[in-house]
Amino acid sequence: MFDARLRPLIDMPLNAVARRLSGTGITPNIITGFGFFLGLLAAACLAIQLDYAALSLILASRMMDGLDGAVARHAAPRSRHPQAKTQESDLGGYYDIVSDFLFYSGIILGFAIGRPDDALMAAFLIFCFVGTGSSFLAYAIIAAKQGRTDESQGKKSFYYLTGITEGSETILVLCLICVFPDWFGMIAAIFGTLCLLTTAGRILQARKDFG
C-alpha cells in the first residue's frame, strides 16, 4: 500500500551507494545473497529470543534487498546477452523474489521456534503469506504473458500488482514483533486478515483483467 509512495525516498540514498559500488566487483547477486544470509541470522536470533539483534539484522537485510536492484541498474553489464546495458537480469530478479518470500516466512518460523506457544498464530500468518505471494506471482506470470507492464514501484523484473499488504507493511510487522513479541498473536491476527483481504482483492483484479 505504501511501497509506491516510499520508493522515491528510498531510491535516492540507495542510488548514491550503488554508484559508489559500481565497478568494485560487488555484483547484485552477491548483495542479494548477503541480504538473505542476514535474514537467516535474524530468524536464528528470534529462535533464541535475541529480539533486538533480530530487529537490526532484519533492517540490514532489507537494506540489501533494496540495494541489489540499485547496483544492478548502475553497474556495467556482466551478462551473456550482447545487448545488455546494465547488470539487471531475469536470473537476478528470480533470486530476489525467491529470497524475499523465504525471508518473510523464515522470520515467522524463527519466532515460532523461540516461542512455541505462538506457533499456531505463526502458522496462520505463514498461510496468509502464501496467499499474498501466490496471488502476486500468479498475476505477474499472466501479465508477462499478455505483455502488461507497470513501473509504479520502480523498474522490476515482473509486473508488480499492488495490495493492502506489500513489502513495506510486511517489514513493519516483522519489526513490530521483534519490539513487541508479547503482542504477536494480535499482530498476526490483524496483519493476516489484511493479507487475506489483499489476496481476495488480487483474485478479483485477475478475474477482471484476465476473464
User: In this structure, what C-alpha cell is assigned to residue 30?
Assistant: 552477491
Q: Are 144 and 157 in contact (CB under 8 A)?
A: no
DSSP structure string for 94-107: HHHHHHHHHHHHHH
Chain segment 155-182, per-residue pLDDT in tens: 544 445 666 778 788 999 999 999 999 9
Say how far apart CA 44 and CA 66 lie, in whole Å.
Answer: 22
Chain segment 177-200, per-residue pLDDT in tens: 999 999 999 999 999 999 999 999
CATH numeric code, 3-210: 1.20.120.1760
Residue 196: which residues within 8 A CB-CB, separation 6 or more? Answer: 128, 131
Domain ranges of the chain: 3-210
Beta bridge partners of 152: 154
Q: What is the model's pTM? A: 0.82
Name the nearest CA neighbour of 210 among 127, 158, 115, 141: 141
